[in-house]
Structure 1
Amino acid sequence: MAINIVIADDHPLMLRGLKDFLVSKGFNIVGIAEDGNSAYNLIVKLKPEIAILDIRMPHKTGLEIAEDCKKNNIDTKIILITFDKEEELFQKAKEFNVYGYILKEFAIEEIEICIKNVLKGNPYFSEDLKDILEITKPNLDIIESLTKTERKILSLVAENNTSQEIASELSVSIKTIHKHRSHIIAKLDLDNKPTSLLIWANLHKKYF
């Protein structure tokens, strides 16, 4: 049985290339859209097994479509194609039950294997993206080793608070905050540059 697919991308060449490739592989393209609103309407109307969406489109992004599908209990499995490699977007995609996340430069190479995985209920993410995420993902065991106070300090650092402001917030001396910061830096194996802890805290604030 042919698999019904809706595809959406605001770049006509990308859209046509993806359509031609999928048709040549035996998939049934039931709808095509060049903006997010049209894509979402097609998904609601046609209820395809899969929707392959560009993340950045006019009116509604691929992520917003995925979020709406989740809210409205639409069973269509979403695959996103994108040039974006930001971890924040990847985490949102997982939150909205996105089944596939493919980098555009590898879309034609990976889309067929992605669809096969998704149809089995197995999420699929570009290999290149996995490498990037492994670099940015912290060692969760190290974060677990931080005390409750150290985590609180990290969250305040991530909000760009100074040591003096953190001391006031926690009703302790600035000397105590400096001591905590030293312990945190040692546990995280960071260098002693003034900005190192701030950068780390901002990159990983979702983990503490």
Structure 2
Amino acid sequence: MSSIVIADDHPLLLRGLSDFLTSKGFNIIGMAEDGNTAYNMIVKLKPELAILDIRMPHKTGLEIAEDCYKNQIKTKIILITFDQEESLYEQAKAFNVYGYILKEFAIEEIEICIEHVLKNEHYFSEEIEAHLKTGKPSDESLEDLTKTEKKILSLIADNKTSQDIAEELSVSIKTIHKHRSNIIAKLKLDNKPSSLLVWANLNKNLF
């Protein structure tokens, strides 16, 4: 039986989802009302699936997905959300989130979503796909980047840390940090730790 951890900061929604999935024969091995607790459960219990609210205290569902992605944790992530923001959707794809469904359709879609995910298939609500445009930037986005900066982008897309990149290119980590700042400025990205990783994963076909 597939093991599942679920997390939502609304106790009634958490209990309702747990009761529904249990009635369908799924094995709920952990429940959490905040992101830190949820992530610790995932690390300790190693569930096959984790169904997470995208917005929770201490650590969001996306931040948990990012940590699982970076640390190569095999638990498959399903996010449930009221949000239809394009940036959240893009980040979910970049961090290899397997399922992404709207809360208002959660009870209708969650069982179908789980079935797809257990087959190693991604499932994104049609309502989200219909409302969001996820077009890729053109090659023009990279025109201002140097050859070295493109190489660094490629290594970031391979989930390399700044230290890994510095060692591979035989330069100081300070130099890599400077390159990263320049790339962020040229691509006009938000100056957040994950913004470059998200962009690189979404657009690795361009460099």
Q: Work out the CA distance in 2 between the residues paired with 1:145 and 1:4.
A: 45
Q: Mapping of 1:75-114 within 5 angstroms?
A: 75-114=74-113
The equivalent of 1:119 in structure 2 is 118
Change (3 A) 1:7 1:144: same
State the 1:84 CA deviation.
Answer: 0.7
**Higher Cα radius of gyration:** 1
SS in 2 for 1:51: strand
State the 1:123 CA deviation.
Answer: 0.5
Supply the AA of the counterpart residue of 2:39. Answer: Y
Task: Check the 8 A contact 2:98/2:117 in 1, yes or no.
Answer: yes
Q: Work out the CA distance in 1 between the residues paired with 2:80 and 2:97.
A: 11
State the 1:137 CA deviation.
Answer: 3.7
Task: Check the 8 A contact 2:100/2:125 in 1, yes or no.
Answer: yes
1:129 aligns with 2:109: no
Q: TM-score, normalised by structure 2?
A: 0.67
Q: Mapping of 1:126-165 within 5 angstroms?
A: 126-133=125-132, 136-138=133-135, 143=138
State the 1:144 CA deviation.
Answer: 6.3
Q: How many percent identity over aligned positions?
A: 68
1:55 aligns with 2:46: no
SS in 1 for 2:114: helix
Change (3 A) 1:144 1:45: closer
Change (3 A) 1:117 1:39: same
Q: Work out the CA distance in 2 between the residues paired with 1:116 and 1:41.
A: 25
Supply the AA of the counterpart residue of 2:22. Answer: V
Supply the AA of the counterpart residue of 1:118. Answer: V
Per-residue displacement from partner, 1:139-168 (whole Å, max 9, x unpaired)? 87xx5699x59xxxxx98x79xxxxxxxxx
SS in 1 for 2:14: helix
* Displacement over 6 Å in runs of 4+: none
The equivalent of 1:15 in structure 2 is 14
Change (3 A) 1:137 1:70: closer
The equivalent of 2:168 in structure 1 is none
Supply the AA of the counterpart residue of 2:58. Answer: H
Q: Work out the CA distance in 2 between the residues paired with 1:115 and 1:49.
A: 11
The equivalent of 1:36 in structure 2 is 35
The Cα RMSD (Å) is 2.6
The equivalent of 1:199 in structure 2 is none
State the 1:138 CA deviation.
Answer: 4.3
- Report the count of equivalent residues: 152
Q: Work out the CA distance in 2 between the residues paired with 1:138 and 1:41.
A: 35
Supply the AA of the counterpart residue of 2:74. Answer: D
**Structure 2 unaligned blocks of 5 or more:** 145-184, 190-201
**Structure 1 unaligned blocks of 5 or more:** 150-154, 160-205
Change (3 A) 1:139 1:112: same
Q: Work out the CA distance in 1 between the residues paired with 2:136 and 2:4.
A: 38
The equivalent of 1:3 in structure 2 is 2
SS in 2 for 1:32: strand
Per-residue displacement from partner, 1:98-127 (whole Å, max 9, x unpaired)? 000010000000000000000101000011
